[in-house]
Chains A and B, each alone.
Chain A
Amino acid sequence: MDQDIFLLGFNHRTAAVAVREKYALTTVENFTSKLARAVPAREVMCLSTCNRVEILAVGRKGSGLRDAILDFWAKACGGRVEELAPHVYRYEGHEAVGHLFKVAASLDSMIVGEPQILGQLKTAYRDAVDQGSAKVIINRLLHKAFFAAKRVRTETNIASSAVSISFAAVELARKIFGDMTGVTAMLVGAGEMAELAATHLLGNGVKNLLIANRTFARAEELAKTMGGKAITFEEIIGRLAEADIVISSTGAQHTVIQARDVRPVLKKRKNRPMFFIDIAVPRDIDPDVNGLDNVYLYDIDDLKEIVEENMAQRRGEAVKAEALVDIEAEAFGKWLESLGLQPTILDLYGRAERCARQELKKTLKRLGPVPPEAEEALETLVLSLSRKILHEPVDFLKRRTREEGKADEFISLVRRVFNLDDDSVPADAHADRLDDSVEQGSASDPDTCQ
């Protein structure tokens, strides 16, 4: 095959924030289609998030494609190649495939195992498809990347536990309350961290939100953006009975909620459980609160500990995941090599011959003993029949692949028609082709971007 896969990009490790901001592709309108027109690539796909840029291109080897992409990228973002180049990694062929699979499986992410990147990648792929810049190779490459990511998710425990404070808190809330739709949350102090945790709670079905803050205006402002109700700082204890979850993050020097405040509240609530999350330092909530029945109190250190344990577990799982990704990348490499004309013709004849011999064996078994001449004649018959039938398709393939830019398309078509790669197609193969990018997208976390 004369085509190869190229991948250029940077991530949070190779480029500082300033560089990532300046060269983010999102600043350029229609970057993908402009790039596709400007460089000699057959297929193009671009991914840009706050932590990384990945530009994937398929083109002729030795056509200066990489330099052309880098050049276009730097200029489109209003920068210089010399400034951008030191931060950019460049992969080719098998390495590019391996890197993309790792990105999809979230093994290259800032927080390893966070699944948002998969949704972002699906969106990027959808854009490339819409603009017609994703064709045979990128199509299959991305589907295999999604498949590898799915395998990693289901076969390892990489994403089974929360690795951010706010996610850990939500996970605990789910363990206590189960279905969160009827749950009311109260924010005491409207800091950034509390806001984040509240966002997660709302995302998990919490409907009612009470927001208390020393400066009432800030509480009102937040209530407006998050769809909650602002209350004054003095109302906290009085309305505590309404709250199932209390997230506290004030800058107060002394505790704001005492165990003696909570005890009568429990009676009023008929002992329905309460979950207090104290993310303030120094603490806002009297630690004795945890001693009350049906009340659970976690402070920032407790949550941090959970997060650290989960992180350690993830690092262990990442090793397993890398092995899985390698296997998938290897398989894709094999397919890519087979995309040449000669291997495909050989595979075609091979498959036909195998079929012919199988049928011959069955027939001979049914016939019982036959004279060797007859057996030989039968063999010649089935083999020449299988070759004759393939003659026209092979001839067609040879002629068509001589046309510029059509080779991969026709070879890939023939390989699929005859199922030369033994792909099994699950019943829902096409259902999830693009649609679950929406589901992935909605799960994305505003505080981390991979």
Chain B
Amino acid sequence: MDSFSLLQAVIIFVYLAGTVLVFAGPILHKERLKSLGNAAAVAGFALHTLNIILYLSLEQGLALTEGSFYFSLLAWSLLLIYFILWWRLRLGFLGLTAAPLALLLFVSSLATVGTRVAMPKSLIGVFFSLHIGSLFASISLLTMAFGAALAFIYLEKKIKTKAKLTGLGKEMPSLNMLDKVNHWVILIGFPLYTLGLVTGFMWARQAFGRVFSWDPKEVVALFVWFLFALLFHQRLALGWRGRKTAVMAIWVYGFTLLSLVGVNFFVVTHHGFK
């Protein structure tokens, strides 16, 4: 095992420990385990940052044509967004979404080594960075909204039906707090998603000479954008809150996942991983 794969093994181990701890903390109602879990996530994130820097410097431009790199990058951006939410809203609860998904994505990145994205090296530039950066940030935000939405729907149902809160329910943040995540994600995530699409299309014009080519990826992404726009409008203009926006966030996230994983792997598209 060379030092690079050793680093990856350590990252997996730390993420795994973090995931186990962030679940054990609230389930056993132990504050200490929760903070240990978050500490592990921070440590894993630091190592992961190192890993990405090493990878980019070792493989240079080549890294960007590897499918596995994008999984790793998504895991990283997911944790970054989680840490920002944790810091801004003092909301550690979403570690329950962020930690296991970061672990899963990082492991997937190792499992998909060898998949390639068709990408002429000359095209890696400003548009590309903006396209990937803004989309990954907004997908990470949507992931947080998804976790918050599941928690909101569960907790809201319990309160509405006057059921007793047990186990995890007792540890959940307030409904208002979970709703605030939804608000935050829509407010920031939608403009980012829009930017991601626009830069994507501009880049496509450079690369393929056409803005829109009925590529399945483009179609699904555009559909997600409309759904996201609807949510943005209902929330910010009509003042929707609570359960309805939580349900919509779950739909938006579901289709995002479909466009991200389903289309890239199973459909022929210029985003495909081969």
Contact = CB atoms under 8 A, between A and B. Distances in A.
Interface of A: 160, 172, 174-179, 267, 270-273, 290, 293-294, 296, 298, 302, 305-306, 309
B159 A272 contact: no
A176 B172 CA distance: 11
A306 B164 contact: yes
B121 interface: no
7 contacts: A160-B29, A175-B155, A178-B175, A179-B174, A271-B241, A294-B242, A298-B162
Nearest to B173: A178
Contact of A175 (B174, B243, B244): B174
B88 interface: no
Contact of B242 (A160, A293, A305): A293
Nearest to B242: A294
Contacts of B243: 293-294
Given A176-B174, A273-B175, A296-B159, 4 more contacts: A177-B176, A273-B241, A293-B244, A302-B162
Nearest to B158: A175
Contacts of A177: 174-176
B241 A178 contact: no
Given A270-B241, A271-B241, A273-B242, A174 B174 contact: yes
Interface residues of B, number: 20
Nearest to B169: A175
Contact of B241 (A172, A176, A272): A272
B182 to A, nearest CB: 12
Contacts of A290: 160
B239 interface: yes
Interface string B215-244: 000000000000000000000000111111
Given A296-B160, A309-B164, A271 B240 contact: yes
B176 A178 contact: yes
A175 B239 contact: no
B257 interface: no
Contacts of A174: 174
A175 B176 CA distance: 8
A174 B242 CA distance: 16
Given A175-B155, A175-B159, A175-B165, A294 B173 contact: no
A184 B175 CA distance: 17
A270 B174 contact: no
A175 B175 contact: yes
B64 interface: no
Interface string B191-229: 000000000000000000000000000000000000000
A293 B234 CA distance: 15
Contacts of A298: 162
A442 B155 CA distance: 30
Nearest to A299: B162
A267 B240 CA distance: 10
Contacts of A160: 29, 170
Contacts of B244: 293
B176 A176 contact: yes
Nearest to A175: B174
B177 interface: yes
Contacts of A267: 239
A317 to B, nearest CB: 13
- For the complex of A and B, 6 pairs with smallest distance between CB atoms: A178-B174, A270-B239, A271-B241, A294-B242, A178-B177, A178-B176
Nearest to B170: A160
Nearest to B30: A154
